[in-house]
Structure 1
Amino acid sequence: MPKIVDRDRYRKELLGKSFHLFAQQGYAAIAMRQLAEGLGVSTGTLYHYFPSKQAIFEQMMLERIEHSLRTFDADLTHLPSLKAKIVAVFQFFQREEKEAMDELLLCVEFYQHQQREGQTNSIIQQFYQRLKPEAMQLLGIQDETLLQFLFSIIDGLLLAHIYGATIDWMAQAELISATIESYLPRSETR
């Protein structure tokens, strides 16, 4: 009797396992053959599920965004204030710092690769457009500039590792919360 495979679940497993391979070798350096070997499948199997390395990367990153949004939804929806939500977000990055750093560096490398290839419609920009409205809703922020500020701070803290910095995520959460509270009218921080 032939083995029954849940194709969607198997495809998601491949995507999940692909992240660490991309993070170890980089987007540009890894080939489909190396991905297949690292995943323990044949190159033909990999092409059966994904038409290209770029498709794997894009679908993998979209899965990661969806997972993060589900995590934030579970972590943030019950919290009473913007400050508590910011602290919870920073706790997430404290727990997931290495993976978040790998994800950010991969996105930067992929963006550079697309630019070199002359692709101007960056999938990274599409990811941000997908993430933005849900992040605004989860945090209860109506000001897009404020959301961009928060994302920039988080990305900057992750990149501070390049300089050898050790990040105290909770101290940063307190500082950012105080900054945002002074920026927003009192009614919007509750």
Structure 2
Amino acid sequence: MPKIVDHAKQRADLLEGAFELFADRGYAALSMRDLARGLGVTTGTLYHYFKSKDVIFEEMVLRAVARDLTDATAELSEELSASERLRLIFEWIQANQKDLRRVLLLVFDFQRHKGDDPLAKGLVSEASATYRREFELQVGAAPGIWPLILGGLIQGILEPSHEDGVARLQAMETLLLGARADGGSGVD
């Protein structure tokens, strides 16, 4: 009797395992053969699920972004003020700095190796735009404020001991004052 395979689960498991391999070794250091070996599957199996290493990487990053947003916004509700939602988001960021740092460094590594490749530029742009849209939706931030927020988040992720989380949160709230998408005077 043939083995019944849950292809969606197998694909998700491969992406999860690929994340660990890419995080440990970097984008350029892995071939499809290396990925297959590290994932405990044949190269043919890996190609059955993914056309190329780039496709694996792209799907893996977009999956991580979706997971991050689901996790970061799980406790948010419309009853909370924008300020309370902002605090919960930053608490989640602080609690998940190690994983966020790994994703960020992976994306930087990918873009560095791919250079001007449209896939790399598109992936970075799509990931950032997804985070930006959710942030603007949850906090009510004006669209132009995202690059400043992102810069602060990246700094906090790359250099977490530079400043404490309370100071960073206060700085982010200050940036949002007067910069609300609804024209309000600040964070609720």
| Cα distance change of structure 1 residues 17 and 70 upon mapping to structure 2, 3 Å threshold | same
| Cα distance change of structure 1 residues 34 and 104 upon mapping to structure 2, 3 Å threshold | same
Residue from 150, 165, 169 that aligns with 1:169: 165
Matches of 1:38 and 1:167, distance apart in 2: 37
Which structure has more relative contact order (CA 8 Å, sep 6+)? It is: 1
CA contact (8 A) 2:14 2:39 kept: yes
| Cross-structure match for 1:37 | 37
| Cross-structure match for 1:157 | 156
| Cross-structure match for 1:77 | 77
Matches of 1:14 and 1:27, distance apart in 2: 16
Q: Quick one: percent identity of the two aligned structures?
A: 32
CA contact (8 A) 1:79 1:85 kept: no
Runs of 4+ in 1 over 3 A off after TM superposition: 182-188
Q: Unaligned regions of 5+ residues in structure 2, if any?
A: none
Q: Unaligned regions of 5+ residues in structure 1, if any?
A: none
TM norm structure 1: 0.86
Structure with the higher fraction of residues in helix conformation: 1
Paired amino acid for 2:171: L
CA contact (8 A) 1:19 1:60 kept: yes
Count of aligned residue pairs for this structure pair:
184
TM norm structure 2: 0.87
CA contact (8 A) 2:177 2:185 kept: no
Matches of 1:41 and 1:167, distance apart in 2: 43
| Cross-structure match for 2:144 | 145
Residue 76 of structure 1: CA displacement? 2.3
